Amino acid sequence: MLRDLTVREHQAFVTAVGQSVGRRRTVQNVYGTLTSILNRGRKWGYFIPEVRKPDVEFPADQTPKSEAFFFDADAASRIINVSPYPFKLMFLIAATCGLRIGEVTALKRSSLDFKRELIHITAAFDYATRKETTPKSSNSAAPLHMTALLEQHLRNWVEKHFQPNPNGYLFLNSKGRPFPSDTVVKYGIHRAIAKLGIQTKKGVHVEVHCFRHGVTTELLESGTPIHIVTRLMRHGDSKVTLDHYGHVVGAAERAASERLSQKIGLQLEPNFELESVSNS
């Protein structure tokens, strides 16, 4: 009801718009349109509570999202090469399938379907509690293609290194338990990049998730359709993929840009040169 549009409702509206657009000026413009409509309603005789603009707090501009640090195919291969088992295989899985760290450590012998060439993601370890739980979402609980490369190394692991255990976990530490996520990061990722001399900017969080970012980036840059990338990464929808990786310039975008550039180039004069513009 219009009579219920108090400061609380105005503030909720402004906050929601701010979260959507991220710019203070845009929020103020939208709110200005709303107040104009409400003022017109008062002139027409509707009872609408008066709300002063100073009583509404407008959000500050949101800081642009920084690009996620990722391991491209080259960096991923180098890290895998210098890592010891079982980290070597764990990183290979993350680098080819884009699994999250908790999904990798929760893999079981029953997760591997060699006949159908599938890896079933049915569980994940919580990073904080270290307890097995369900995957992040219903979309995350989806089978993934087992590449020929992965099949080769997974078969070798199962035949030669797999330690039978009551829960069937694929990877166990020296205590016969699944690896804690922070152990994989500290003794796997961090040691590998230190050995390789890979430098990162201050404040950059390097973790197993960097493989996942790398998979998504490599797929998009190679021109893989967005809906395929979304399914492979098991995102909720394509909007999630675009929100996180909209900065990636894929092969299709590059090709389209080149076609336009060539079309313009064909019509330029043969002796076309850029001339400096005098200030006179």
Structure tokens at 57: 């707090």
- pLDDT over 70, % of the chain: 92
The per-residue pLDDT for range 252-268, each reduced to its tens digit, is 667 777 787 787 677 76
pLDDT bucket at 2, cuts 50 / 70 / 90: confident
- What are the domain boundaries of the chain? 2-55, 73-243
pTM above 0.75, yes or no: no
pLDDT surpassing 60 at residue 128: yes
- CATH fit for domain 73-243, picks 2.30.30.60, 3.30.590.20, 1.10.443.10, 1.10.490.10: 1.10.443.10
Task: Tell which wins on pLDDT, 70 or 277.
Answer: 70
Select the more confidently predicted residue: 127 or 195.
195
In this predicted structure, the answer to whether residue 165 has a pLDDT above a threshold of 50 is yes
pLDDT band at 231 (very low <50, low <70, confident <90, very high): very high
pLDDT tier for residue 278 given thresholds of 50, 70 and 90: low
Residue 263: its pLDDT value, please?
Answer: 75
State residue 124's pLDDT score: 95
pLDDT in tens, 82-105: 999 999 999 999 999 999 999 999
Average pLDDT over residues 262-276: 67
